[in-house]
Amino acid sequence: MRETCIVLGLCILAVALRASKLVFIRKLGAFTFVVVSFLVFYYLSGKNLSVGIFGGLIWLFLPWVELLTRIRRMKLPMENHLKHAQPPNAAFFPNAEETIHAMTESGFERVADCCWHWSGMHQHYCMFVHPESGTIASLSLCEQSDVAFSFVSITSIGEDATIWRTTNYPFAPTLLYPQRHFWNHVPCSRHCFHEILQNHTSFLKAKKVHQDQISRPDPDQLDELVEEEMEEMIAYNLERGIIEYSDEECFRYSKRGLFFLWGQFIKDMLRLC
């Protein structure tokens, strides 16, 4: 019973650590679950160290269940057009109302509300433009299954179509960025729009981007800019072998793309655990 008590005790400890509000303590709780997996396999195999290590590392291979089932069979459209739509109730999305108020307070003007369906996710864009600087800000409201979340993106587009973007998107990207796209990911726990805007300003300074290099987008064509950016990203990932044609109108992830996604899943597991 000693081994059983050790495993049960560590399980209780892991659950308690995961209930903490401190990120470090929660990560320690996740690591404790890995230790529990190691011990379960270790004891069941008659204290075989190799089997125990396999049990601890099995968490890293869990994403392959979804990769080889749902994602491998998933077909995504080559062309996906945004549709103008009424904004959803922002009260159902974390920090949405506060973010919209902060955008308006910072001098951004709301110019469009549009949405599209992508990979089983319904994504709504609330688009804003700063008339003086030409900076684009968007609040994305996403619904997937029973999960709803929101995130902010602040974008500056150069005269040569180079994109500089700061975002608190909570997950690792699922496609490679083209070479002229520069993304600055800030922690997803950073919800204050003013802080994210300051991060974007510092990001532009670090990249030595001056205000006279930034174009002034037409507010009526923001949805077209989003569509063109996605088309460019799809073309780039086709070239890099991350995705491949499934038919004339759709693409899917290639074998190389599945390994790329696995790496992104691992990043999320380590960062968000």
- Using CA atoms, how far apart are residues 49 and 41, in angstroms rounded to an integer? 9
Q: Answer whether residue 66 is part of any domain.
A: no
Contact 39, 52 (CB under 8 A): yes
128 — pLDDT class (breaks 50, 70, 90): very high
222 and 136 together in one domain: yes
Residue 29 has pLDDT above 80, yes or no: yes
What is the strand order of the sheet 250-253 is part of?
76-77, 250-253, 243-245
Residue 273 has pLDDT above 70, yes or no: no
145 and 237 together in one domain: yes
114 and 7 together in one domain: no
Residue-level pLDDT at 185: 92
**In whole numbers, what is the pLDDT of the chain averaged over residues?**
89
146 — pLDDT class (breaks 50, 70, 90): confident
Final residue of a domain: which of 28, 61, 94? 61
Residue-level pLDDT at 117: 82
107 and 202 together in one domain: yes
123 and 16 together in one domain: no
Residue-level pLDDT at 199: 95
Contact 254, 260 (CB under 8 A): no
Phi, psi (deg, nearest 5) at residue 16: -65, -45
Residue-level pLDDT at 198: 95
Domain count for the chain: 2
User: Among residues 43, 31, 33, which one has the least CA distance to residue 4?
Assistant: 43
Instruction: Say what the pTM is.
Output: 0.84
Q: How far is CA 229 from CA 60, 63, 88, 189, in A?
A: 32, 28, 24, 26
Task: Please tell me what DSSP assigns to residue 17.
Answer: H
For residue 186, what are the contacts with CB-CB under 8 A and spacing of at least 6? 166, 167, 168, 195, 196, 199
105: burial class by Cβ within 10 Å (0-12, 13-18, 19+)? exposed
* Sign of the four-CA dihedral 145, 272, 227, 70: negative
138 and 9 together in one domain: no
- Using CA atoms, how far apart are residues 7 and 104, in angstroms rounded to an integer? 53
Q: Answer whether residue 208 is part of any domain.
A: yes
Final residue of a domain: which of 61, 91, 111? 61
Residue-level pLDDT at 221: 87
**pLDDT tens by residue, 38-66:** 999 999 988 899 999 999 899 989 999 99
Residue-level pLDDT at 150: 87
**Residue 7, domain extent:** 2-61
139 and 267 together in one domain: yes
User: Among residues 199, 190, 200, which one has the least CA distance to residue 163?
Assistant: 200
50 and 94 together in one domain: no
Q: Answer whether residue 67 is part of any domain.
A: no
**pLDDT tens by residue, 177-187:** 998 999 999 98
Inter-axis angle of helices 96-105 and 193-206, to 10 degrees? Answer: 60
**pLDDT tens by residue, 76-119:** 888 888 888 887 777 777 778 889 999 999 999 999 889 888 76
50 and 93 together in one domain: no
147 and 263 together in one domain: yes
106 and 15 together in one domain: no
User: Among residues 253, 251, 250, 247, which one has the least CA distance to residue 265?
Assistant: 253
Percentage of residues of the chain with pLDDT beyond 70: 99
Q: Answer whether residue 224 is part of any domain.
A: yes
Q: Answer whether residue 118 is part of any domain.
A: yes
47 and 93 together in one domain: no
Question: Across the chain, which distance is largest between two alpha carbons, in Å?
Answer: 72
Contact 77, 252 (CB under 8 A): no
* Sign of the four-CA dihedral 155, 156, 158, 162: negative
